Amino acid sequence: MAQHKVVVDPAFRKMGEIFSELDRRRLEDLCSIVWGQDEPMPEAEARMAVLDAEAVVCSQWRYGDSIYQARRLKAIFSVSGGFQTDFDYEYCHQRHIQYLSCAPAFGPQVAEMALGLAIAAARTMVTADRDFRVGKETYLWASNRDTFTLFDKPVGFIGFGGLAQNLRQLLQPFRPRIQVYDPWLSDGYIRSQGCTPVSLPELMSQNRFVFVLAVPSSDNSAMIDRSLLERLGPDTVFLLMSRAHVVDFDALTDLLRQGRFRAGIDVFPEEPLASDHPIRNVDNAILSAHRAGSVPEALWDIGRMVVDDLEAVLNDLPARRMQPALPQLTGRYARNAARRGRRK
């Protein structure tokens, strides 16, 4: 029997959603699983279990100060898709405890949806479908007077992490000129990827397709405000793919109601969205209920990445599949608990 003790407490995700039968067997062969059920592990039981665990697989750390007594802990594997706020990353870095996010599992699927929404909005595919179903369709050139293609168009990326890297590859056949705004990356690195670093106002003014792909942080809440949204032209498609956190959503809704530009939106400030939210009545936006990454292939990729990196961590090797919380960035996307004196 495997001797490595690992707490597996993935709720809100279900075990069968993220672990295929093959990866579940790999996990069982690799370690001694504590819990491993769909329901959340009882808090008191979980707090005790993590004290002598070598790793914890969870949606987020919800075990309080027990992290400070978890002397054998090597890594926390988050299966939620992002980095939680209100967590003491500084302590983990000092103790060489890795915090690993499954975000890379969603990159290809979200990029695919972003591309699809961009083309659908530019070619008014959803509007044409609606018209056809009520007998108001128009044919051939008459139905394309307000459409345009993605080929050879200027494209802007707000954020240049994993989502953007996947999308950049998908866009290559369309020969785009890509501008990037990402204050977490150097201009030299952005240029090395064949893109042009620009300011956010420049990006919003100069591109026909603007993709919002940024990780939510303490620095970028409602960063894309009304004044920036007003820079978008009438033939611009605004794609909101990462988190609504980075956009003034009220301003976005108002400007879309005015017909100022087009949009594809997969994320919202509150989910489920209120049934009477005015964005539901906007004709020039394609709305998607946070569906971009939640396909079976992406979810099983989570389990595969977890097992791959868990095998590495338990053998004192670096994790290669999941995204680590970097010391240089954690203070930006989290209210570090250590600053409030929680570290012991």
For 240-294, write each residue's pLDDT tens digit: 999 999 999 999 999 999 999 999 999 999 999 999 999 999 999 999 999 999 8
Same-domain status, 34 and 17: yes
Residue with tokens 């992406």: 298
Distance in angstroms (rounded) separating the CA atoms of residues 167 and 107:
8
Sheet strand arrangement including 237-240:
196-197, 177-181, 154-158, 209-212, 237-240, 262-265, 285-287
Q: Does residue 272 have a cis bond before it (omega within 30 degrees)?
A: yes
In the chain, the number of structural domains is: 2
Domain that holds residue 200: 106-287
Per-residue pLDDT of the chain (344 residues; tens, 9 = 90+): 468 999 999 999 999 999 999 999 999 999 999 999 999 999 999 999 999 999 999 999 999 999 999 999 999 999 998 898 889 999 999 999 999 999 999 999 999 999 999 999 999 999 999 999 999 999 999 999 999 999 999 999 999 999 999 999 999 999 999 999 999 999 999 999 999 999 999 999 999 999 999 988 888 999 999 999 999 999 999 999 999 999 999 999 999 999 999 999 999 999 999 999 999 999 999 999 999 998 888 899 999 999 999 999 999 999 999 999 999 888 776 443 333 334 33
- Across the chain, mean pLDDT equals 94
Same-domain status, 209 and 118: yes
Same-domain status, 98 and 134: no
Same-domain status, 155 and 269: yes
Same-domain status, 85 and 157: no
CATH code, domain carrying 178: 3.40.50.720
Same-domain status, 234 and 149: yes
Same-domain status, 194 and 278: yes
Same-domain status, 199 and 147: yes
For 100-130, write each residue's pLDDT tens digit: 999 999 999 999 999 999 999 999 999 999 9
Same-domain status, 211 and 302: no
